[in-house]
Amino acid sequence: MQGKILGGRYKIIRRLGGGGFGQTYLAVDTQLPGDPQCVVKQLKPQTADLATARRLFDREATTLHELGQGHDQIPRLFAHFEENEEFYLVEDYYEGETLGEEIQRLHRFREPQAIALLQDILSVLKYVHSHNVIHRDIKPSNIIRRKGDGKLTLIDFGVVKLIGVANLSGFHTKAETVAVSTLGYTPPEQQNGHPRLNSDIYALGVTVIKALTGKDIKDLQMNLHNWREQVQVSDELAGILDHMVRLDFQQRYQSVEEVLRDLEAMVEAFKQTTQVRTGVREPTESATQVRETEVRETEVRATQARATQARATQAQETALRPAPTPVSRPEAPIKGFAFKPWHVVAIAGVAAAAALFGGWKLYEPYFYLQQAKEQLVKYQPEKALDTFNRLIDNKSNDAAAWRGRGDALLALARYESALSAYDKALQLQPKDAKTLNKKGETLYELQRYQDSLDTHEQALKVTENNPEAWYGKGRAFIGLKRYEDALAAFDKAREMKPQSPSVWYSKGIALEYLNRRSEALKIYEEAVETYDEQLKANPNNLKWWVERGSVLSKLGRFNDVLNSAEKALKVDPDFYPALVLKGNALRVTGKADEALQAYNKAMEIRPEDYMTLHNRGTLLAEKGDFVQGIKSFDKALEIRSSFSPAWVDRGIALSQNNQQKEAIESFDKALRYAPKDAQALVGRGISLSALNRNEEALAAFEQAKEIEPNDPFVWANRAAVLENLKRNDEALKSYDEAIRLKPDFQSAIEARQKLRQKL
């Protein structure tokens, strides 16, 4: 066929594949400028009744044309024609890697990649099923990651193959239906000749499980019932996949919308576990900036302990949520002048001459300024603050000293004091773009997003070519939920500073908020690659190693996160951010004792860091050492009494230690600082219930339900209290809702069953 021209215009280049129903070729369209590539599918009807085959061909071609015109992840149908009693379809050619090839290259998908795969293909299937079309042959080789934009595309619809195997009646027999599917991916009803819309859901579920396990489809087919034993994934994702691949189609998800609803609830729950529960703050931003990682991921260790409190039965049985991903917070040293060894020599020489003539005071401020900057580079903000304060005592009108004081205070999360320092610096130098950007960053941390945006705009008026200002604008836009504007701002920053992986990382987070997770993952991968290139040239850059680890955490590569932390610690065993990063990575990988050692060493270096104290307290509580865990929370709260996640986790530890009254007081403290913290309300409700104060407990759960209506644990705990109050019909409905939101919620299922038996 190579070189042959079909339909008077399509020149065959090479064969792409084929089977009993026909062949597929790569071709070029010789009648269009540039000879664009396309796919030509040759279909050979296995029947003498060409009239019937022709009608079927025209009908299915019309369907394919309609599908391709309405979704950019489905190939467009350009033409269909008959030649020499054979039928041909001409479609888009997608250059790229099939999902099967990608799985073979990566060996196994990590959970974030599997979620992105589900989201991408489910969105396509939602569109396909809305046209009452069943794909019939979803499998890794029929999914292509398009080279240009990285999107997953769905090809080779089974309706095409039906043309090739149609019988004389024009209806499809069991044999014909099976012929257009692939064993291992085909559910029983399709094998029996009765495919349904949720047959595609089964095939997609098997496809994702194959991606997670890396197993051959034959092995997977034999062991699909115990696939969880071969891979580590969250219970939530595993529950969704198990529901997708149930053999009985009646027990399976009935629609793509149902799967998307559960998947969206799972992803939203994950987002909620990786940010402060103030009801206001939106997640952000960059691996290079301390505050985003501090707030979004490192400091919020409330979730794992909170989860252990979710009680779905009167016996207060524990319902565990998946643990969130703790990520170390890389601190952002002051940019600009970096103190070098030769500066010591130069300053020493100048100082000696000055001393000889009685002029040391002239050079003392300069020395202190460089010393303080070097302390920030080494991530010693306490020492830097002392040095800047000494410098200000000697020279109160030094704008650089006030800005440096602000940088040290920002690194210590003392935001209001940092803001005052930057304002003082700007009084002395109103048009200093660097100070304006640092002020904008501080305003962002204070959740004053519009003020942050306005301040970065001021910086741009001072210096137009200012990537840091555009970067700051992007963060502010995320806080304002203007995600498209954030993407545009990050792109602008990237144009000016193309080798800044921190900007890419922030862009990835904005993409996640737009539910474009596959694009976000690609951005994260690019950021890691850039860090790797930069670290080849400068392997002793501690900040880059820690930032790289934070990006890797977004990809779920926690062994690599640990390796990144170790690389930094090999250069400087006392580098604080790397120790925190190491502790968090060890914790996620189940190495609690080693994680505690890393936290303890970090505390030796910075004993006043409330977030590491909080992480340490949560870890101790998880190990069952409630007394020491509570002490660690208390120490964190002595340093920052308004840190609501520590009040919540302290309350949970007290509750688990059967100190319910003290736990309620702790939850009340959390709610004073974060009135819309649903987890604090849930914890309060559980402790009240344990004291048989069920009416008050119900009121707490009702408030939590208003804030988090899609949280199955809220509904399950509410049901348990209603059951205590003998309001059994309402309790059953509440259990039903919990199970609807989380179909594999075993403790809720059992509690509902016990209640039904009692009735």
487-510 pLDDT tens trace: 999 999 989 988 788 888 889 888
The CATH number linked to 216 is: 1.10.510.10
> Residue 58 domain-assigned?
yes
Average pLDDT over residues 379-404: 84
Q: Which residues contact 523 (CB under 8 A, 6 or more apart)?
A: 504, 505, 507, 508, 511
**For the ranges 203-207, 390-394, 433-437, which has the lowest average pLDDT?**
390-394
Q: What is the pLDDT of residue 456?
A: 96
Which has the higher per-residue pLDDT, 22 or 708? 708
Q: What is the pLDDT of residue 574?
A: 87
Q: Which of 608, 617, 609, 547 is nearest to 587 (CA)?
A: 617
Q: Which residues contact 659 (CB under 8 A, 6 or more apart)?
A: none
Average pLDDT over residues 670-686: 89
Residue with tokens 């604090």: 680
According to DSSP, residue 226 is labeled G
> Residue 37 domain-assigned?
yes
Q: What is the pLDDT of residue 209?
A: 94
Q: What is the pLDDT of residue 435?
A: 94
Q: What is the pLDDT of residue 273?
A: 42
- Same domain? For 100 and 88 the reply is no
Q: What is the pLDDT of residue 285?
A: 31
**Confidence label for 392 from pLDDT (cuts 50, 70 and 90):** confident
Q: Which of 41-50, 126-135, 296-305 has the highest mean pLDDT?
A: 126-135
Average pLDDT over residues 376-400: 82
Domain boundary, last residue among 465, 492, 519: 492
* pLDDT, tens digit, 9 for 90 and up, residues 437-475: 999 999 988 878 899 999 999 999 999 889 999 999 999
Q: Which of 569, 640, 576, 652 is nearest to 610 (CA)?
A: 640
Average pLDDT over residues 518-530: 89
Residue 35 designated active-site: no
Domain of 55, in residue numbers: 4-92
Residues in the chain: 759
Q: Are 44 and 67 in contact (CB under 8 A)?
A: no
Q: How many CB atoms lie within 10 A of CB 607?
A: 12
Q: Are 409 and 336 in contact (CB under 8 A)?
A: no
> Residue 617 domain-assigned?
no
Q: Are 252 and 246 in contact (CB under 8 A)?
A: yes
Q: Encoding tokens for residue 179?
A: 């012929």
- Same domain? For 28 and 150 the reply is no
Instruction: Reply yes or no on whether the pLDDT at 257 is more than 70.
Output: yes
**Confidence label for 573 from pLDDT (cuts 50, 70 and 90):** very high
Instruction: Reply yes or no on whether the pLDDT at 295 is more than 50.
Output: no
Q: What is the pLDDT of residue 208?
A: 96
Long-range contacts of 695-701 (CB under 8 A, 24+ apart): 695/725, 697/721, 698/722, 698/725
- Same domain? For 203 and 114 the reply is yes
Q: Encoding tokens for residue 749?
A: 């299922």
- Same domain? For 68 and 102 the reply is no
**Confidence label for 479 from pLDDT (cuts 50, 70 and 90):** confident
Q: Are 80 and 90 in contact (CB under 8 A)?
A: yes
Q: Encoding tokens for residue 499?
A: 């080798």
Residue 96's φ and ψ, nearest 5 degrees, are: 160, -170
> Residue 669 domain-assigned?
no
Rounded to whole angstroms, the maximal C-alpha distance in the chain is 111
Average pLDDT over residues 214-231: 80
- Same domain? For 210 and 115 the reply is yes
> Residue 578 domain-assigned?
no
Domain boundary, last residue among 268, 294, 323: 268
- Same domain? For 363 and 244 the reply is no
Domain tally, the chain: 3
Instruction: Reply yes or no on whether the pLDDT at 291 is more than 50.
Output: no
Q: What is the pLDDT of residue 158?
A: 58
Q: Which of 174-188, 304-318, 693-707 has the highest mean pLDDT?
A: 693-707
- Same domain? For 109 and 254 the reply is yes
Q: Which of 29, 92, 120, 137 is catalytic?
A: 137
- Same domain? For 102 and 243 the reply is yes
**Confidence label for 402 from pLDDT (cuts 50, 70 and 90):** very high
Q: What is the pLDDT of residue 437?
A: 94
Instruction: Reply yes or no on whether the pLDDT at 386 is more than 50.
Output: yes
Q: Are 270 and 324 in contact (CB under 8 A)?
A: yes
Q: What is the pLDDT of residue 27?
A: 94
> Residue 754 domain-assigned?
no
> Residue 662 domain-assigned?
no
**Confidence label for 323 from pLDDT (cuts 50, 70 and 90):** very low
Q: CA dihedral defined by 161, 164, 166, 171, rounded to 10 degrees?
A: 30
Q: What is the pLDDT of residue 369?
A: 64
Q: What is the pLDDT of residue 328?
A: 32
Q: What is the pLDDT of residue 315?
A: 27
Q: In what order do the strands lie in the sheet with 96-98?
A: 96-98, 143-146, 152-154
* pLDDT, tens digit, 9 for 90 and up, residues 98-140: 999 999 988 889 888 899 899 999 999 999 888 888 888 899 9
The overall average pLDDT reported for the chain is 79
Q: Which of 514, 515, 575, 526 is nearest to 552 (CA)?
A: 526
Taking the mean position of all CA atoms in its chain, how far away is CA 93?
A: 31
- Same domain? For 260 and 127 the reply is yes
Task: Determine what percent of the chain is predicted with pLDDT higher than 70.
Answer: 81
Q: How many CB atoms lie within 10 A of CB 340?
A: 11
Cα(500)–Cα(568) distance, rounded to whole angstroms?
Answer: 19
Q: What is the pLDDT of residue 367?
A: 57
According to DSSP, residue 87 is labeled E
**For the ranges 397-401, 500-504, 591-595, 712-716, which has the lowest average pLDDT?**
500-504
- Same domain? For 389 and 478 the reply is yes
Q: What is the pLDDT of residue 167?
A: 37
Q: Are 585 and 339 in contact (CB under 8 A)?
A: no
- Same domain? For 58 and 107 the reply is no
Q: What is the pLDDT of residue 714?
A: 92
The CATH number linked to 380 is: 1.25.40.10
- Burial class from Cβ neighbours inside 10 Å (0-12, 13-18, 19+) for residue 105 reads exposed
What pTM does this model have?
0.50
- Same domain? For 125 and 22 the reply is no
Domain boundary, last residue among 203, 233, 268: 268
Task: Determine what percent of the chain is predicted with pLDDT higher than 90.
Answer: 36
Cα(444)–Cα(484) distance, rounded to whole angstroms?
Answer: 18
The CATH number linked to 78 is: 3.30.200.20
* pLDDT, tens digit, 9 for 90 and up, residues 607-639: 878 888 998 998 898 888 999 999 999 998 988
Integer angstrom CA distances of residue 290 from 273, 373, 577? 19, 17, 9
Q: Are 43 and 60 in contact (CB under 8 A)?
A: no
Q: In what order do the strands lie in the sheet with 22-29?
A: 5-6, 10-19, 22-29, 37-43, 86-91, 77-83
> Residue 717 domain-assigned?
no
